[in-house]
Structure 1
Amino acid sequence: MDKHIIFEDGHIRAIFMKGSSQELIFSFGDLITRAKGTSINAEKSLEKFHFNVIGVMPKEKSWFPEASMRAMLAAIQDLIAPFKIRVGYGGSMGGYAAIKYSNLLDLNRIVALVPQYSIDPEDIHDPRYNMFYHADLNANMRIQAQDVSAQREYIVVYDQYYAEDRGHYLKIQPLIPHLHTLHLPFTGHDAIAILANSELLNDFLTHPFDAPFFYQKIRKVKKNSKFYYRKVIENVLPNHRWSLGRILKYNNLQLDSNFFDAKLKQNLIRSLLSNKQVDQHDLNKLGLQIQLPYENRNVLLDHFGHGLVFNIISQKIESYAAHAIALNHKFLIPIYAKGSGLVQIYLNDERYLISMNDRHVMKLCKEQDALAAGMHPLILKKYSDYFVLSYKDLNLSSDEFGGNDFVEDLPDTAKFTLELEQ
């Protein structure tokens, strides 16, 4: 591979990757794909189709200052002069640069995924990026009418339901009345990761614009993107809990155990257990590997009448309605309660203690086994009318949504009553 640096200053690095195409692609990096050696944004996909490429990679979170871009153009003018077809490509900060410098670089087509209009707080309120604005570097940085041209073709891809990116789009669109827009709903700002596909990138750069054609290609790519499902799940789960079951049923997911962060994983598990009887196949798709226990049990009720259980999938103490516990008895194990002592559950006819550390990470431990370093067993205290679960000087308190947390005082929500199963 023939690659070498053709320009560099304190803010950007430009790398030329020689190919055999008629087109010259300007590929702009973003906050994540910043300058590192001679790496180029979307390099593998661009190399696969033998494009001539100039990778313009940011060295800082400085949004391609105009002084740096003009200095780069002066340095590479002779190199780019033979290329009459020039295409700009980038996402987020890179999408901004592709549009902002389309006239300066004489680009024929610009493909911008979730671009910014500006990061200047005087231009637009966006707490994600306003912190990176520096007046000495980014003065008058917003995309302006003189930056764009009706003779150039602009394609923007973004999630029309994501308010932060929609705000930028609504500023850009009036400047480019002929703008081609492709929607990628319920994906937030993750279009770059979701649409990472060599064939689709090649189409974006070279295929005549045809919205139905591009939507067909986008659907094919996103159906195979685990990033797409994560964003859809994050966005639809709060208001459309039944959608999760349909996603699992009709899509062949196979995620690893670290794909979802702990908070989203717990929300997923709660949704599954509250709305349907999950099976092993559903959990495997989400990267959740567990052993299936079964045992007889007693039930502690929280202040809201929900059963207190240990969720062996999330490894947390939670509260669920009786019907959810009945449907998911293999996963939701009621806390054993009889008198004061250690908090226990029964799995496969064996007694387990529930222990926790100062970071509120819970683990099960067989009664006869040694505790892991830093772990302390939870204490069950029996009073005349209620039970209390404690960790050191903290008491477990429930909320109406089934969540539980440890608090310093003893509110009514930290008092549990015993209901014996029949």
Structure 2
Amino acid sequence: MDKQIIFEDEHIRVIFLKGSSDALVISFGDLISRAKGMSINAEKSLFKYQYNVIGIMPKQKSWFPKSSMLQMQQQIQSILQQFKEIVGYGGSMGGYAAIKYSNLLNMQKVVAFVPQYSIDPEVVQDRRYAEFFDAALHQDMQIQADEVDPAREYILVYDPYYAEDKEHFLKIQPLLPNRQVIHLPFTGHEALSVLASSQLLHDFVQQPFDITYFYKRVREVKKQSKFYYRQVIDHLLARHHQALLRILQQNDFELDERYFDAVLKQKLVQQLFRLKQGTEQNLHKLGIPIHFVQHAQAQAANVKTTQDTALVFNLVSLKLESYEAEIIEANSQYLLPLTAQANTLVSLELNHESYLLTMNDRGIHKLIKQGEALPLDQSPLVFKQYADFCSISYKQLTLSCDAQGLGQFVENNMDEQTHLHLVES
């Protein structure tokens, strides 16, 4: 593989991958695929089709500053002049750069996934990337009318229901009269991950745009994408409570343990328990391991939240959560009620054995049998009683339970959601 660095400064590293095709693809990295050695964004897919590639990889989270790009353009002009067909490709920060520098780099086509218009907090309401805005570096960084051209073809892919990305699209749209748009609902900012496919990338580069053809190809690719189903499930959880059950009932699958991140796993488990469908089969289908099972009859909870729900330790997600009594009863093998006494360490009774409930600085809980030594990184939780309320603390943090029953440890112990109370068991 013939690769060489053709430009580099403190913000970008530019790598040329020589191929045998007539086209040159300029592939922009993003926040995740930043400069690392000689790697190029989408390199495997582009190399598969023997494209000539210029990989512009960000070394920092600095949104391809114009000063760097102007210096680079002068340095690589001799390579650009060898090609009549130049295609820009990138997502998010890379999508922004592919559009913004389409004139500068003489691209005939640009394929931009979920691009930004700017990250300047004075220009956009989106605050996801505001911390990376540098007024000295990013003056007038928004995509300008004189940086694009109606003669160039622009293909934009985004989720119209994802408000943050939609704001950028609506600001970019008037600048691009010759644009094609592919909507990818319920994918959030993960459009590029959902549509990761060598063949589809090849289509975007080479295939004349036909909306029917591309939507057909997009449907085929997203049905094979774990990222797509992960986003769909996450989207549906809050809005359509029975949708998760329909997915489980209508599909025969068993997902890998790493398919969902910890936050989404907890939401899925919680939803199954609320639907009283937290069966071993359903949990296995979702790739959610079962850590402990309560076989013996548990005591009734005597710790309540401000929402008057009972505080429990979830033996599947290994998190502190709160539920109504009927849900705890329906899922008693997995939801272990807390029974506490004032000003003591938090302990639990599991199958007639007593455990301390501990946590570390990463928020990972462990059950430690009474009398056994604590791991060096784990500290016990403390149940505290004050004049008007109770609380559970870890070091300087206090447990807060929201209206959805999810618990997290926060610094503010005066928040009403941190207030608990004891009831007669």
Superposition TM-score tier, normalisation by shorter sequence: 0.7 to 0.9
Whole-Å separation in 2 of the counterparts to 1:157 and 1:410: 41
Matched, 1:402 2:408: no
**Whole-angstrom CA distance in 1 between matches of 2:78 and 2:399:** 70
Q: Which residue of 1 aligns with 2:421?
A: 415
CA distance in 2: counterparts of 1:106 and 1:97, whole angstroms: 13
TM-score, normalised by the number of residues in structure 1: 0.84
Q: CA deviation at 1:93?
A: 1.6
Q: Deviations over 1:140-192 (max 9, x none)?
A: 33222222222221100111122221111111111112311111222222222
The alignment partner of 2:73 has SS state of: helix
Number of residue pairs matched?
Answer: 415
- Which of 308, 311, 314 aligns to 1:311? It is 314
Q: Give me the CA root mean square deviation.
A: 3.5
Q: Distance in 2 between matches of 1:42 and 1:173?
A: 26
Q: Is the 8 A contact 1:355 1:375 kept in 2?
A: no
Counterparts of 1:59-208 in structure 2 under 5 Å?
59-208=59-208
Q: Which residue of 2 aligns with 1:350?
A: 352
Contact 2:257 2:289 in 1 (8 A): no
Counting only pairs closer than 5 Å after superposition, residues 384-399 of structure 1 correspond to structure 2 as none
Question: Is the Cα contact below 8 Å between 1:113 and 1:156 reproduced in 2?
Answer: yes
Worse-superposed segment, 194-203 or 237-246: 237-246
Q: Secondary structure at the match of 1:319?
A: strand
Q: Report the Cα distance in structure 1 between the residues aligned to 2:189 and 2:121, rounded to whole angstroms.
A: 19
Q: Post-superposition shift, 1:378?
A: 6.0
Checking the alignment, whether the CA contact within 8 Å between 1:388 and 1:395 is kept in structure 2 is no
- Contact kept? 1:397, 1:415, Cα under 8 Å: no
Where structure 1 has 5 or more consecutive residues not aligned to the other structure, the ranges are none
Which ranges of structure 2 fall in alignment gaps of 5 or more residues? none
1:222 is aligned to 2:222: yes
Task: Give 3-state SS (helix, strand or coil) of 2:327's partner.
Answer: helix
Q: How far apart are the structure 2 equivalents of 1:64 and 1:389?
A: 48
Percent identity of equivalent pairs: 49
2:301 match: secondary structure: strand
What's the secondary structure of 1:16's corresponding residue? strand
Counterparts of 2:44 and 2:122, CA distance in 1 = 38
2: CA distance, partners of 1:194 / 1:305: 41
**Are the counterparts in 2 of residues 19 and 47 from structure 1 also a CA contact under 8 Å?**
yes
Counterpart position of 2:296:
295
Q: Which residue of 2 aligns with 1:256?
A: 257
- Per the TM alignment, residue 45 of structure 1 is displaced from its structure 2 partner at its CA by 0.8
Would the alpha carbon gap of residues 377 and 58 (structure 1) be closer, same or farther in structure 2, given more than 3 Å must change?
A: closer
- Residue 325 (structure 2) aligns with: 322
Whether the 8 Å CA contact 1:29–1:90 is kept in 2: the answer is yes
Quick check: 1:397–1:414 contact (8 Å CA) kept in 2? no
CA deviation vs aligned residue, 1:295-341 (integer Å, no higher than 9, x gap): 21321253655444331012234332233123222211334689998
Give the deviation of 1:197 after TM superposition: 1.7
* In structure 2, C-alpha distance between the alignment counterparts of 1:375 and 1:134, rounded to whole Å: 40
Change (3 A) 1:79 1:313: same
Decide whether the 8 Å contact of 2:341 with 2:383 is kept in 1. Answer: no
TM-fit CA distance, 1:224: 2.9
Q: Structure 1 residues 309, 145: closer, same or farther in 2, change over 3 A?
A: closer
Distance 2:394 2:89 in 1: 56
Match of 2:35?
35
Cα pair distance change 1:11/1:337, threshold 3 Å: closer
Query: Residues 50 and 30 of structure 1: is their aligned pair in 2 closer, same or farther, counting only changes over 3 Å?
Result: same
What SS does the aligned partner of 2:266 have? Answer: helix
Q: 1:29, 1:40 within 8 Å by CA — same for their partners in 2?
A: yes
Deviations along 1:31-83, one digit per CA (max 9) or x if unpaired, are: 22222222111101101111111112223333223333333233223323232
The alignment partner of 1:188 has SS state of: coil
Whether the aligned pair in 2 keeps the contact of 1:3 and 1:16 (CA below 8 Å) is yes
Q: Is the CA contact 1:344–1:351 (under 8 Å) kept in the aligned structure 2?
A: no
Larger radius of gyration: 1
